[in-house]
């Protein structure tokens, strides 16, 4: 139980770090409702990427496309083969 809570908090760190860093660079006279809304929206997007939920996978856990020379050559070969 505590392990899951700890894991969730660790996964939320990138979003919190981004907001804290952005607040350091924004001058105090520009901070307000619009800035806070933008920062909370950015934190939400970062959390969507990094925080995994039990019922659905996040972007990081999705299978990545194969990269490299062999898949590239296969793709090019298929393109010429269709012509």
Q: What is the pLDDT along the chain (83 residues), one digit of tens a residue?
A: 688 888 888 888 888 888 888 888 888 888 888 888 888 888 888 888 877 665 444 445 445 555 667 777 777 777 777 76
Is-above-0.75 flag for pTM? no
SS (H, E, C) the chain: CHHHHHHHHHHHHHHHHHHHHHHHHCCHHHCCHHHHHHHHHHHHHHHHHHCCCCCCCCCCCCCCCCCCHHHHHHHHHHHHHHC
Domain ranges of the chain: 2-82
């Amino acid at each position: 139980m505590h392990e899951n809570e700890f894991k969730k908090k660790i996964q939320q760190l990138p979003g919190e770090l981004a907001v804290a860093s952005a607040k350091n660079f924004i001058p105090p006279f520009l901070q307000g409702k619009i800035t806070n809304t933008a920062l909370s929206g950015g934190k939400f997007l970062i959390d969507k990427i990094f925080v995994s939920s039990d019922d659905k996978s996040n972007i990081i856990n999705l299978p990545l496309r194969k990269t490299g020379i062999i898949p590239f050559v296969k793709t090019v070969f298929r393109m010429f083969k269709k012509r």
